[in-house]
Each structure stands twice: as C-alpha cells, then as structure tokens.
Amino acid sequence: MAIYADSNTRVVIQGITGRDGSFHTHHMMEYGTNVVAGVTPGKGGQKFEGKVPVFDTVEEAVRKEGADASVIYVPAAFAASAICEAADSGIELIVCISEGIPVLDMLRAARYVTDRGARLIGPNCPGMISPGKAKLGIIPGQIVEEGPVGVVSRSGTLTYEVVWALTSAGMGQSSCIGIGGDPVIGTDFVDCLDAFEGDPQTEAIVLIGEIGGTDEQNAARHIKEKLSKPVVGFVAGQTAPPGRRMGHAGAIISGSSGTAEEKIAAFRANGVEVAERPVDMPEIVRRALNG
C-alpha cells in the first residue's frame, strides 16, 4: 500500500512537450510510473519518446487512455486553468508542480477541484512519490526506499534532505508528499495525516513544516485528537524575520502569527515530538517505530 498513488495509477502529464515537462516525464517513466498520456494543446497526435500519446485536451486522455491522475508542468499563467481542466475531465488526483500561480486564481481553482470531488496536491510543490511504485512529480527517485515511514512536507529540497537521512539510516518510506509552499494549496497536512493513518504500510509519519499560516497548528491538534500512529515534526524558519517572504509565497510571518516558535509549541503541547535538526530525525523516527 501507499497513499494517493501506486503502480496502478494511470498518469497523464499536462505540459508534456515543454522543457520541464519532458525532462521530468522522462524521469517519472524511468522510475516505473505508469504514464499513459500527455497533453499539450495543439500537439495532439504526437508521441512522447515514441510511445506516450499526446492529446490536445485532458478529456481525450481520460477517454482514450483511462488516465486517472495528472501531473501539471505548465507555465504559471496557464496552470490554474490546467488544474480546472483536469478536475472537469474526471481526473481524481491532480499534482501541480508549477510555481508562481496568482493566489486569486488559486482560490477559484481550489474550490473548483473540491466541487468536482477531485484531489489537488500543490501547486508549487515537488509532487509525490510512493517508493517502488510511482513518482508523480520531481522528487529524485534515487533518494527514496520502500518502507514504513510516511513523509509530508511544505518544502522541496528540505524534504529530500530528511528523506535521504531516513533512507541512509535504513528507514524507507510508504509515500512522500510535498504539499507545496503557496498560501492556497489543495491537499493539506491534515488530509495527508488521515491518509497515512489509514494506510497499512505506514507505521510512523514525518511532518515537515515551515513558517507562515496555521496549517501546522491545525495538524498538531488533529494528531492529538485523531491519530494513533506516531508523528515526528520539524519546522523550518526559526531565524526568519517577520514580514518578509522567505522564498515560498506562503512562508511569511505576519504580525505575531505563523512563527516557527508558535508551531513548535503547538506540536509539543499536543504530544508531537519535534526534531531540532534534520539530522536528528532518523533517531527519533526509529524510536517511534520501535515504540
């Protein structure tokens, strides 16, 4: 098992002929992901790398190839529309890698996805990987290993750092999900926590947060109320100054809220152990797994 995507997931790539799209599709296929179609309007009829059919619309990819998940690599200006198109075409899982989508566009796109019963991961995220099964996005395949730890994170390379530390210490992962660094995202920490809770492969969960917003605080309360599996937290940005956007559009301390301190305190108050450094994570997870 794993969450959200596995070897049966039939993936369509929106923006498959673009620079980023083609590069990452190649790596997704190399990893063994079941990529069944690509979409680039105006390029329908082509084949990607001689085998994957390219369509003009997602609707065709669903009808002809049975795609049920989509990964989006289109430029920011068209990404919100791509998300809506996927949801409207019956795609169940939409992973949007694109960054730089205007937040006012995302408010509508996120609501549109929810109204159609689809799940959105991202935008502005590294996507997800279920080790040994499927990679939907850009998380490097060589740093993961199949195993019992579920990983959910708002970050990209920081996730790789932690995942690699876990893998190096002999602890593989069930699924790794990067939920994205924007203020408005689809799937959040609480959604992923619930999915990991219900996944028999997952025995412990690693949650990597950062400054900005209240997602971590909500997650902390949810863990105490609803989760039986152990969760280990980490929060980046203890040295970040208030009022400055630390790269991610969502990573900004506004007024006195959204600080790393506040989030760490919320985790601890709800019985969630917090790693002080990424390097401490494997030992804490090991104890959690053995506990």
Binding site for another protein (CB under 8 A): 76-77, 100-104, 107-108, 110-111, 115, 126, 138-140, 143, 153-161, 164, 181, 183-184, 208, 210-211, 213-215, 218, 234, 236-241, 244-251, 255-256, 260, 276-279
Residue 266 DSSP one-character state:
H
Measured from the CB atom, the residue of 9 and 155 that comes closer to another protein is 155
Catalytic residue, chosen from 24, 27, 222, 248, is: 248
CB of 44 vs another protein, minimal distance in Å: 27
Measured from the CB atom, the residue of 61 and 87 that comes closer to another protein is 87
CB of 176 vs another protein, minimal distance in Å: 12
Measured from the CB atom, the residue of 58 and 110 that comes closer to another protein is 110
Residue 181 — φ and ψ, nearest 5°? -105, 20
248 a catalytic residue: yes
Of the candidates 137, 142, 175, the one whose C-alpha atom is nearest the C-alpha of residue 156 is 137
CB of 25 vs another protein, minimal distance in Å: 14
Separation of alpha carbons 228 and 278, rounded Å: 24
DSSP string covering 93-156, please? EEEE------HHHHHHHHHHHHHTT-EEE-SSS-EEEETTTEEEES--GGG--EEEEEEEES-S
Other CB atoms within a 10 A radius of the CB of residue 105 amount to 18
Single-letter amino acid, residue 250: G
CB of 263 vs another protein, minimal distance in Å: 12
Separation of alpha carbons 12 and 162, rounded Å: 29
Measured from the CB atom, the residue of 85 and 210 that comes closer to another protein is 210
Single-letter amino acid, residue 10: R
Show which residues are catalytic. 248
